[in-house]
Structure 1
Amino acid sequence: MLEKIQKMLTIRSSSVRVLLAEALGMYMLMVLGLSCAAQVVLGKGEFGHYLSINLGFGIGVTMGIHVAQGISGAHLNAAITLTHCILGNLPWRKLPAYLLGQFLGSFLAAATVFGLYYDALYDYTKGNFTVTGPTATASIFSTYPSPYMSLTGSFFTEFMATVILFLGILAIHDEKNNGALKGTQALLTGILVLGIGMGMGMNTGYAINPSRDLPPRIFTAIAGWGVDVFTAGHYWWWVPLVAPTLGSLVGGLTYKLFIDIHNQPVPECGNEKGQTDVESSTL
C-alpha cells in the first residue's frame, strides 16, 4: 500500500523535481540565515552578534545542500546556475526550473521569518518599518552597503567575494585535484561561506547570490518597507544581481584556466576516446 502511494506521489518531470528540490534547499538556507540576522538586530546585541549571522548562513548552506543535492545538485545560487549554463555544464532548458525554485524558496523563507519575528519587529520599530535610520530593519532580509561605501566599491566587493566563492566550490568538488572526502562537501561549502562572511562581509553584507537577495527584497517591498528597498544605497538593489553573476563566471573561468586544463587525466596508450566528461560542481 505504501509503495503504491509513494509511486503515485512520485513526480515524473525532472524540471519539477529540480524546482522543488532547489526551493526546499533554498528555504532551509534562508530560514536559518535570516533568523540569525533577525535575532541579532531585534535582540539589540543580547541574542548574538555579527558572527552569529555568519554562522547562521554557513550552517544554512550546509543543510540546504544536504536537502537538495541528490535531486538538483543543490546550486542554491542563481549566479552559479547561470555560470554552469554558460560553461556548458547544465542545459539552458533547465535554467528556469533552477531559478524559479531558488526564488520561491527564498521568498517563502523571508515570509516565514517575518511571521516568526513580527511581534519583535513591531516592538522594535513601533510599526514603522524602515530601510535606514536608528530602527532600520530591512537589512534583516536583504543586503545593503555600509554608509561609507561607494557604488563602485560595493560592486567590487560583491564581485570578488563571489569569485572566491565559486573558486572554492570548484576546488571542493574537483575529484581530479584534491577534492573533499565524499560526504564532507556540504560542510566545507558552509565553512567557505562562513569564511567569506567573516572576511568580506563588512562592506556590503556579502550577498554573493542573487537568489539570496532579490526575493526577500521583493517581499519587504510588499510587507511594509515600500520602494525604499530598491532606492536605498544609491539604487543598490541591482548590484547583488549583476556583481555575483560576473564574479561567478570569472571564478569559473579562472579555475578552468589555472587548474582544470592543467590537471586532465592522461589517456592510456591506444585509447583514442580522449578526455572524460567532468561532472558539474554543486551548490
Structure 2
Amino acid sequence: MSAIIEKSEEIRMESVGSYDKQRCTPSDSTANLADCDHCTAFPNRWSRIRYAIREPAAEFLGTMIFVIFGTGVNCQVFLSTNPSVEAVPRGDFLSLNFGWASGVALGVWIAGGISGGHINPAITFTLAVFRGFPWKKVPFYIFAQLLGGFCGGGVVYANYFHAIDIVEGGPGIRTINGSGDLLATYAASFLTPVSCFFSEFLGSAILIIGVLCITDKKNGPPPQGLVPLALFILVLGIGASLGMNTSYSLNPARDLGPRFLTAAVGYGTAVFTYRNQYWLWCIVLGPVTGMLCGAFVYDTLIFEGKESIINKPNAQAIERCLHACPGQGGKLPVGIESA
C-alpha cells in the first residue's frame, strides 16, 4: 500500500533550459494538482519555439493589426465615395485619422509587453542608436514589421477588392491614380521632392519626440497601461495637423509592406518607380533621418538617462568612475527592458 501511495505522489522533475523552473507531474490522475507547485516555461515543443520567436512575432502581429486598421479605414472612406459602391460616404478625413491612431494604439498594446511595441523600423533603428537596443535584434524586428505590413495589406485587399474593381472600372484593372494610394502612400502632385521629404521628416521627428517623452519616467509619463492611449492622441494630432501632404506614413513598414503587396496583385513595378523611387528617399529615408534628429534634440535638451549616447561620460568623468543615472525609460514602446 505504501508503495502505491509513493507512486501516486511521485514527482517527475526535468530541466529544459536556463529559463525553466522545476516541473512536477503526479503520476496518478487522482492526485491533487494544486499540490504541484513547480512549473516549466516549456510544457511542450511549441512553447519552446514560441519563446524563441515571440519578440519578432509580437512585432509582426502588432504591425499587421496597425496596418489593417489604417489601410482599412483608407479603403472604407475612399471607396464609399463612389455611388456605385455606397449610396452614402462612410467616413471623412477625421475618421481616417481616428483609424490610423487606433491602429497604432492597438498595435503597441498587442506587442508592447513582449517586444516593446516598436511596430516601426525607423523607431527600432533609432532606439538602437539612442537607447542601447541590441543591434543583433534589429534585423529580426525590421523583417517582422515588414512582413506584418505585407500581411496586413493583404487582409485589407482581400476584404475590399470587389469595391476596388468597381472604382477602377473592372476586375484586374489596377492603377496608382485609381486606388494605389489606398494601401501605400503617394505624395500630393503639387509637392516638390524636397517638400515631400520634409513632410515625412517633420512628422517623424515629432513622433519620436512624443514617444521618447511618453516613455521617459522622469518626464511625467502616463500611468501604467495608458501608453497606447497617449500614442493614440499623439498620432491623431500628427495626422490632423501634418497628414495632408504625404498621408503621413512616418513608418517604412506601414508603406513598404503594403507596397510590395500592391506590386504583387496587379499594380506592377510602377509602385516602385513612382517619382524616381519615392519609396526610398521619402518613405524610408524621411522617417529614419527625422527620428534620428528628433531623438537627438530630445536627448540633448531633456533626457538625462545613461542609455543615450548624448549622456556618455567624458574623459574626466571616466577618470573619476562617474556616469549618468539610469533614465528608467518605459517598456512601451522603447523596449529596453525586454531586450
Q: TM-score, normalised by structure 2?
A: 0.75
**1:33-52 alignment to 2 at 5 Å?**
33-44=70-81, 46-52=89-95
- 1:276 corresponds to: 326
Higher relative contact order (CA 8 A, sep 6+): 1
Instruction: Say if 2:174 is the partner of 1:129.
Output: yes
Q: Secondary structure at the match of 1:255?
A: helix
Percent of residue pairs bearing the same amino acid type: 33
**1:219-238 alignment to 2 at 5 Å?**
219-238=261-280
Instruction: Say if 2:117 is the partner of 1:74.
Output: yes
Q: What is the identity, as a one-letter code, of the residue corresponding to 1:109? A: G
Compare the two structures and name the one with the higher helix fraction: 1
Can you list the C-alpha shifts for 1:109-162, whole angstroms capped at 9, x where unaligned? 111011001111111112311002xxx101010110001000100000100100
**1:11-160 alignment to 2 at 5 Å?**
11=48, 16-44=53-81, 46-125=89-168, 126-127=170-171, 128-132=173-177, 136-160=178-202
Can you list the C-alpha shifts for 1:234-272, whole angstroms capped at 9, x where unaligned? 4311111001001111111111001013999xxxxxxx7
Q: 1:273 to 1:110 in 2, by over 3 A?
A: closer
Q: 1:147 to 1:14 in 2, by over 3 A?
A: same
1:7 to 34, 40, 43: 43
Quick one: distance in 2 between partners of 1:50 and 1:7? Answer: 49
Instruction: Say if 2:254 is the partner of 1:212.
Output: yes
Q: What is the identity, as a one-letter code, of the residue corresponding to 2:243? A: G
Quick one: distance in 2 between partners of 1:144 and 1:98? Answer: 25
Cα pair 1:151 1:234 within 8 Å, conserved: no
Cα pair 1:18 1:101 within 8 Å, conserved: no
Cα deviation for residue 97 of structure 1 reads 1.6
- 2:241 corresponds to: 199
Cα pair 2:42 2:48 within 8 Å, conserved: no
Cα deviation for residue 280 of structure 1 reads 6.2
Cα pair 1:89 1:280 within 8 Å, conserved: no
Cα deviation for residue 281 of structure 1 reads 5.8
Cα deviation for residue 230 of structure 1 reads 1.4
Q: What is the identity, as a one-letter code, of the residue corresponding to 1:48? A: G
Cα deviation for residue 5 of structure 1 reads 11
Quick one: distance in 2 between partners of 1:273 and 1:218? Answer: 45
- 2:336 corresponds to: none
Cα pair 2:217 2:328 within 8 Å, conserved: no
Larger Rg, first or second structure (1 or 2): 2
Cα deviation for residue 223 of structure 1 reads 0.7
5+ residue gaps, structure 2: 1-24, 26-38, 82-87, 312-321, 334-339
5+ residue gaps, structure 1: 265-271
Can you list the C-alpha shifts for 1:152-178, whole angstroms capped at 9, x where unaligned? 000001001000000011111111111
Q: Secondary structure at the match of 1:26?
A: helix
- 2:34 corresponds to: none
Quick one: distance in 2 between partners of 1:90 and 1:14? Answer: 19
Q: What is the identity, as a one-letter code, of the residue corresponding to 1:184? A: L
Instruction: Say if 2:271 is the partner of 1:247.
Output: no
Following TM superposition, the consecutive aligned residue runs of length 4 or more in structure 1 with deviations greater than 3 angstroms are 3-6, 11-15, 261-264, 277-283
1:175 to 210, 217, 220: 217
Cα deviation for residue 227 of structure 1 reads 1.1
Q: Aligned-pair RMSD on alpha carbons?
A: 2.4
Cα pair 1:25 1:63 within 8 Å, conserved: yes
Q: Secondary structure at the match of 1:137?
A: helix
Give the count of matched residue pairs: 273
Cα pair 1:29 1:63 within 8 Å, conserved: yes
- 1:163 corresponds to: 205
Cα deviation for residue 85 of structure 1 reads 1.1
- 1:267 corresponds to: none
Can you list the C-alpha shifts for 1:166-197, whole angstroms capped at 9, x where unaligned? 00111111111111111111111011111111
Quick one: distance in 1 between partners of 2:127 and 2:52? Answer: 16
Cα pair 2:113 2:332 within 8 Å, conserved: no
Quick one: distance in 2 between partners of 1:131 and 1:29? Answer: 22
Q: What is the identity, as a one-letter code, of the residue corresponding to 2:262? A: T
